[in-house]
Amino acid sequence: MKKLIAALITCTLTAAMLTGCGSASDDTGASSGQDVNAEITQADDTEKESEADKTSAGGENTKSDSDTSASDSENTAADDEKGTAPSELKTVKEGVLTMATNAAFPPYEYYESNEIVGIDADIAKAVADKLGLELKIEDMEFNSIIIAVTQGKADMGLAGMTVTEERLESVDFSDSYATGIQAVIVAEDSDIAKIDDLSGKKIGVQLATTGDIYAKEDFGEENVEAYNKGADAVMALKQGKVDAVIIDNQPAIAFVKSTEGLKILETEYAVEDYAAAIAKGNSALVEAVNGALTELKEDGTIQEIVDKYIVSE
Ligand code: GLN
């Protein structure tokens, strides 16, 4: 069984990467980014710029003009080194890959001090590097991620997000980069031993996740209690307010590790694919992200990132 070890030592490194200070690593694989970008026609920057300005207003990540130009000039320096032309890829903010996530989902995305770290954060950084873009992570409720993507506030949702038919109606997805499993957490002394035993029990889930959707379908809405965060559902289980929690396997492992008296059932409830959600019709970005993911899979980077956050026992 796999166990999560939150790699504390990576904090400083990842923090540096997220703030864009890690220019030393920027020269990796830039050539493929060029290839991808070369196929993409000029973005209509003017229109997108103004949209981005509007949508970022009031958000925590609102940047003043001086901030923006400061970071732009940093980028220019880095871009010169790599010789890429990030502005050729159409993104919400020119030269920036904006990722929407819900940073309460360890080991995929969570906070270490003030920084969002995790498998998705590292993969997004690696993808952004390949595409010659700066990564910006926006934290929001899981429920808001697809909306942020469809409304043009974020380029991609990367949040351990499962590809589902329903979501495919509102967004496109990249190729899958990981497998997710819906797991069941119960109290150590629970009489629930298999999925069928959940009938008639109170089930805690994270709002709008596949665990929420499937549990309501299979066990009835009246038996499902949806919480904003997975950790809140686990707390409710600990307090006896629900009898079980259905949640993705890796967060389940992390939560059980940090909470006494809980265990994960051996039986898996559902097996799923995680992928990046991208606005419908933005095939240039889907292709660019897919190209980057393929290279990162082939050169072992994705596996390295996974191994950094998930240590097999
Ligand atoms: N994989 C689940 C889903 O896509 C949960 C993701 C999450 O909570 N971040 O619904």
Tens-digit pLDDT profile for residues 74-120: 444 344 444 344 446 889 999 999 999 999 999 999 999 999 999 99
**Secondary element (H or E) of residue 253:** helix 249-258
Pocket test for ligand 1, best of 209, 246, 269 (most atoms within 8 A of CB): 209
- Range 224-250 burial, b when 16+ CB lie within 10 A, else e: bbbbebbbbbbbbbbeeebbbbbbbbb
Pocket test for ligand 1, best of 206, 216, 232, 274 (most atoms within 8 A of CB): 206
pLDDT score of 30 = 35
- Range 288-305 burial, b when 16+ CB lie within 10 A, else e: bbbbbbebbeeeebbeeb
> From ligand 1's centre to the CA of 160, what distance in Å?
5
Q: Tell whether the model's pLDDT for residue 308 goes beyond 60.
A: yes
Q: Which residue has the tokens 């070369």?
A: 38
First to last CA, the chain: 6
> From ligand 1's centre to the CA of 126, what distance in Å?
21
Predicted confidence (pLDDT) per residue in 9-49, tens digit: 333 333 333 443 333 333 333 333 333 333 333 333 334 33
User: Which tokens go with 244?
Assistant: 């079980």
Rounded to whole angstroms, the Cα distance separating 99 from 41 reads: 22
**Secondary element (H or E) of residue 136:** strand 134-139
pLDDT band at residue 248, thresholds of 50, 70 and 90?
very high
Q: Is 175 helix (H, G, I), strand (E, B) or coil?
A: strand
Between residues 153 and 13, the one the model is more confident about: 153
pLDDT score of 275 = 98
Of 282, 277, 287, 275, whose CA–CA distance to 37 is shortest?
Answer: 287
pLDDT band at residue 284, thresholds of 50, 70 and 90?
very high
Is residue 136 within 8 Å of 99, Cβ to Cβ?
A: yes
Chain centre distance of CA 38? 27
Helix, strand, coil % in the chain, rounded to nearest 5: 45, 25, 30
> Model-level pTM?
0.73
Positive or negative, the CA dihedral 23, 27, 29, 35 is positive
Is residue 180 within 8 Å of 274, Cβ to Cβ?
A: yes
Atom of ligand 1 nearest to the CA of 274: 1
